[in-house]
Chains A and B, each alone.
Chain A
Amino acid sequence: MIKLKDLTAGYARRKPVLTKLNTELRTGQIYGLLGANGSGKTTLLYTISGCITPLAGEVEVLSVTPSSRSREMLQELIFMPDEVELPAISAESFVNDYSTFRPRFDKEKFQRILERFDFTHNLKLNKLSLGNRKKFFIAFALASNAKIVLFDEPTNGLDITSKVTFRQVLAEEINDERLFIISTHLVSDIEQLLSSIIVIKDKQIVVQASMDTVAERLTFGATASISQPLFSEGLRAVGKGEGDYSNVDLELLYLALHNPTSQQPIIDILSGKEELC
């Protein structure tokens, strides 16, 4: 559904933010896009959505180059930016105006999702708090029934209840025809939800693996229970898979991937280069 071939992206040719990315993202998955500040997560989302054109290489979204911003492609894609700025109109006007462009928009679903978020505001959209604007746009994005939904820091600004609702709603909405990409720093908010992770570091995708693969190949637990940890932090540690199926601790994995000594072994294990015991 989304293909990146030697993709170099950024805002200036001399200083690309991402270089030579190659990957393929499939439907039925919720991808977590992880990386440090400025690592290029948002740039990648901009490139996939067609906001910016690649500096080199190719991007294909539904077999189309997204920067052409074709009607057919845009109908199947919706992007929720980190800073959701909405116009000074009512929620009803927004839905009436913007659903015009989305033929599969489901107003009932939209209302249902808003109700689950306890969103009952009558204010103009630009007067809403960040969290409420996000709730509103999450509902709009999901109700559009677009096949590809890109979320940039969706849980930033949401209260605890809304984060839970967000996870529930996304889990219900994903199906074999849809693909969600969530870029976030708040990994604990979404780790139960993800089916795959993509970690960006040093302008590259250093890890792309399903959560099942991560759980099979790596073990997460207390330092004492892992004989030879690849990386430990406090009482938590990550080691080679030893047959146990443990809950993935994404925060710990992220830290391990940013540690010079444990980074390469973990990448090798997850990519299958290193055979497990």
Chain B
Amino acid sequence: MLNIKQTAKEFFTLIKLHVSHNWKIIAIVPSMAAITIPDVIELIRRQDTLTSNSTLHISIADNLIGAFVFGCIIYSVLATFNIYKRRTMVHSTLLLPTTNGLKFASEILCTAVIFPIYLFSIYAIIYQIVIAYTGVQNILVEKLMENGNVFIIPAIPYLIILFNSFMALMKSSLNWKIAITGILMCAALFTMIIPHVESYTNEAIVLVHYYHELYQSIRVCTNAVSINEALIWFIRLWVWTAPLVLYTWAYYRFKERTI
């Protein structure tokens, strides 16, 4: 029977390890995403102005949920990132002498609570800094759009996968199946995104941002008023999540044999 004090100590150490090993990479993505949030707000404002006189309806709760979803996505990316190192990283939790339940619980806690809060904190701070310095909420993203680079922003998680895939290929000891899958998934993503860049910008659709797209898709899917609407959003959801789903599938499919 596990001693409660020891169990608690192991659990908190696992959390500490997850956070200490991942904080840098987690910080990068929300920092970059935060730059885009003024644009999201501005786009909503424009859309609302065009269609009705409704007020800005993006709430803190929405953002928190968005950050949560985004956190989950990033954590999935991190999981795939870690797979490349798990074979050799002695600090991987895989072989730590603790119960599988504690390992699982600590991962879930990090994915569901700690990382989203952490992400959102950084996100909010940088958002404030951006507004404070620019004075204009959407200036940075407007610039990006002008240059036609907007697709880069939602693709950031995939860029990380792409980077890791190449890194994996560089190291001969790593599993090429995972690496190739990563590259194919990235290719699929870019194929999907690039043709839509123009329409996104022209129509000023709010969901140009990956995390927000995903969040909205889930939300609309579950609250759809008609089958057609649900179907459309389901397709959108699939388009946006398919690469990640497939990549995650590949990760778990090959995990046991790869580690």
Contacts of B89 in A (CB 8 A): 85, 87
Query: Chain B contact residues: over half helix, strand or loop, or mixed?
Result: helix
User: Considering the complex, which residues of chain B in the window 170-224 have a beta carbon less than 8 Å from any beta carbon of chain A?
Assistant: 173, 175
Asked if B21 CB lies within 8 Å of chain A CBs, one says: yes
Complex Cα spacing A51 to B95, Å: 7
- CB of A86 within 8 A of CB of B97, answer no
Q: Once the chains bind, are A97 and B256 in contact (CB under 8 Å)?
A: no
Residue of A52, A79, A87, A101 touching B21 (CB-CB under 8 A)? A87
- Assuming the contacts A11-B257, A11-B258, asked whether A86 and B90 have C-beta atoms less than 8 A apart, the reply is yes
Q: Does A49 contact B (CB under 8 A)?
A: yes
Picked from A10, A74, A81, A89, the residue with its CB within 8 Å of the CB of B97 is A74
A137 vs B91: C-alpha distance when bound (angstroms):
11
Contact-residue bracket for chain B: 20 to 34
For A77, the chain B residues whose CB sits under 8 A away are 95
**Nearest A-chain residue to B85, judged by Cβ:** A85
Most buried by A among B9, B257, B258: B257
Nearest-CB residue, chain B, relative to A99: B13
Known A79-B95, A81-B88, A84-B88; contact A97-B21, beta-carbon cutoff 8 A = no
List B residues 68-116 near A (Cβ within 8 Å).
85, 87-91, 94-100
Report the minimal beta-carbon distance from A56 to chain B, rounded to whole angstroms.
Answer: 13
Interface string of A93-123 (1 = CB under 8 A from B): 0100110111100000000000000000000
- For residue B257, give the distance in angstroms from its CB to the closest CB of chain A: 4
Contact with A51, one of B96, B175, B259 (Cβ below 8 angstroms): B259
Do residues B20 and A89 form an inter-chain contact, with CB atoms below 8 A? yes
Please determine whether A82 and B88 come into contact, CB atoms closer than 8 angstroms: yes
Whether, in the assembled complex, A83 has its beta carbon less than 8 Å from a beta carbon of chain B, the answer is yes
Question: What are 12 pairs between A and B in contact, CB < 8 Å?
Answer: A71-B98, A74-B96, A75-B97, A81-B88, A83-B88, A83-B173, A87-B17, A94-B91, A100-B10, A101-B10, A101-B13, A101-B96
- Please name 15 further chain A to chain B contacts, defined as beta carbons within 8 Å, in addition to the given A74-B98, A84-B88, A87-B20, sorted by A numbering: A46-B259, A50-B95, A51-B95, A67-B256, A69-B95, A69-B100, A74-B95, A75-B97, A81-B88, A85-B90, A86-B90, A89-B20, A101-B10, A101-B96, A101-B97
